[in-house]
Amino acid sequence: MELRHLRYFLAVADERHFGRAAQRLGLSQPPLTVAIQQLEAEVGAALFLRNSRGVQLTAAGQALVPAAQAAIDQAAQALTAARDAASGQVGRLSVGFAGTMLYRGLPQMLRRFQAEHPRLQLRLRELSSSEQLVELQHARLDAGFAHVAHAPEGLAQLLVSSQPFVACVPAAHALARRRALPLTALAGEPLALVSRSVSPDYHARIVGACQAAGFTPQPLHELQHWLSVVSLVAQGLAVALVPAALQQAALSGAAFVPVKDPHGALPRYETRCLWNPERDLPALGLFLAQVREVAQAG
């Protein structure tokens, strides 16, 4: 049974006249008559009673009207769903992020994206940068915001933000009263930072910057999250070098001081949006357009 035949049938049923139905459909009457005859043959019963004044629905025709309309509506909905999916207007995206992105505009960007694309569902997963790389490579994430110096092979990247590291010290510490301090001022202090397993790149680069300044941090406290690092400092148990955005966490007991770094020993803390460019996911294209807009504005 063709949808075309059902549309023709509904037009005749509505007009109760073959000539008017043909005009409404933009057809000549003979092809319409043939199409109705083909439908009646498929049904196995007459759908209309013809007379000189027009047509009337038979019992079979009356029963077919709601079913035919439902089939037409369902087909239209299916086409709309397919078109929306093809344009990225519906679906679901799984997005990973490292915790510090909560202080770098991620919530605002997500709210705006959801407001502009209300039928797209965003599933957020807080993961370390190394965990995101694994999930992206196994297609368990559609996009991720990771703190990496470059994208691994097979993943595309977009630099979202770049910020300096600052010294984080207990508020009661003498260093907290300084306007700025050299990296050597942290020598001899217990240092806290994210563990090597969570962020091997920045772990190595921070330790390397300290060594370039002439000291190796001892003891070295390794934690799972930057916010945990700041919390440990706030308790007076360590000092740290942390991304500047963590000042927005406003944890009582922690003070933040700019670091004098004339030789560029300290890296910048870079956030990149990563994704697999080979995936056919129109919704991802819309999401990346939003990310690019935010990155350019920043």
237: helix, strand or coil = coil
216: helix, strand or coil = coil
pLDDT digits (tens, 9 = 90+) for 7-25: 988 898 888 989 898 999 8
The percentage of the chain sitting over the pLDDT mark of 90, rounded to a whole number, equals 39
Q: Please state the rounded mean pLDDT for residues 238-263.
A: 91
Helix spans in the chain (H):
3-15, 18-25, 29-43, 59-87, 106-116, 129-137, 200-212, 226-234, 282-297
Based on its alpha-carbon atoms, the radius of gyration of the chain, rounded to whole angstroms, reads 33
Helix, strand, coil abundance in the chain, percent, nearest 5: 50, 25, 30
User: Cα(225)–Cα(235) distance, rounded to whole angstroms?
Assistant: 16
Is residue 103 pLDDT above 80, yes or no?
no
User: Cα(125)–Cα(213) distance, rounded to whole angstroms?
Assistant: 37
Q: Please state the rounded mean pLDDT for residues 22-48.
A: 90
The pLDDT of residue 298: 57
Per DSSP bridges, beta strands 239-243 and 165-170 are antiparallel
Query: Can you list the pairs that 275-279 forms with residues at least 24 positions away whose Cβ atoms lie under 8 Å?
Result: 275/136, 275/142, 275/143, 275/144, 275/155, 275/156, 276/136, 276/137, 276/139, 276/154, 276/155, 276/156, 277/155, 277/156, 278/154, 279/139, 279/142
User: Cα(139)–Cα(143) distance, rounded to whole angstroms?
Assistant: 9
Is residue 77 pLDDT above 90, yes or no?
no
pLDDT class of 120 with cuts at 50, 70, 90: confident
Q: Is residue 233 within 8 Å of residue 254, measured between CB atoms?
A: yes
User: Cα(56)–Cα(65) distance, rounded to whole angstroms?
Assistant: 13
The pLDDT of residue 164: 92
290: helix, strand or coil = helix
The pLDDT of residue 239: 96
The pLDDT of residue 202: 85
pLDDT digits (tens, 9 = 90+) for 146-195: 988 778 889 999 998 888 999 999 999 999 999 999 999 999 999 999 88
